[in-house]
Amino acid sequence: MKQPLQSLEQLLDTISTLTRNNEKVSLGMVVESIGNRSFGPLLMLIGITLFSPLSGIPGMSVFMGSFIMLIAVQMLIGREQFWLPRCILNRSIEHSKLQKALNWLSKPARGIDRFLKPRLTFLVNNGGSYGIASLSVVIGLFMPFMELLPFSSSTAGFALLLLGLALVVHDGLLVLLAVLIFTTTFTLIIVNIL
């Protein structure tokens, strides 16, 4: 049985091991390596993807929005194991591009991990985790609109990364920060659309 992830750096290291032995790394391979019952690490994975240079790929926001919705809704209905369609799991990226993104994220990950600790745990335990899943659904619904405002998907990705980290390390302060970031991004999108 694999050990649960407890930090952002552990998540990046787990994904990095896949780039050593494979020419292309599929989303299915990544999900299998981090565990397909772990909502926090999966949110972190989506957040990292959207926050990294990979978010510049056209359509990535819409694709990740559907991925968020699938996972968050399954968490809300209490599924024990997440189901994802083959068309999503088979999506892959060249190992060199993935490793470049992971290298870009490794130094900030080490710095972020130093500040994480369990606090305000009521925001991440029991009912709090359902609140995080509900917020994730809202973020997923707004992802297509984030294509209209440059870097908004990156800020939403950062909010998702914080929510995933909050679940992994039980740090409720990260939930509050994620809500603030997403609220600001949401406001900017509405202002630009109107």
- What DSSP letter does each residue of 134-149 carry, written as one string? HHHHHHHHHGGGGGSS
The domain limits of the chain are 8-193
Highest mean pLDDT among 2-11, 58-67, 77-86, 102-111: 102-111
The answer, yes or no, to whether residue 82 has pLDDT greater than 80, is: no
Per-residue pLDDT of 112-168, as tens digits, reads 888 888 888 888 887 888 888 888 888 888 887 777 676 777 888 888 888 988 888
Per-residue pLDDT of 32-48, as tens digits, reads 777 655 778 788 878 88
CA distance 125 to 41: 15
94 by DSSP, 3-state: which? strand
Average pLDDT, the chain: 81
Does the pTM surpass 0.85? The reply is no
More confident residue, 22 or 53: 22
pLDDT, average across residues 73-91: 80
Q: Do 144 and 62 contact (CB within 8 A), yes or no?
A: yes
pLDDT, average across residues 16-28: 82
Alpha carbon dihedral 129, 137, 12, 85, in 10-degree steps, equals: 110
Q: Do 158 and 44 contact (CB within 8 A), yes or no?
A: no
DSSP state, residue 24: E
Confidence tier at 179 by pLDDT (50, 70, 90): very high
Confidence tier at 174 by pLDDT (50, 70, 90): very high
More confident residue, 57 or 133: 133
Instruction: Give the pLDDT confidence score for residue 47 in this predicted structure.
Output: 84
DSSP state, residue 124: T
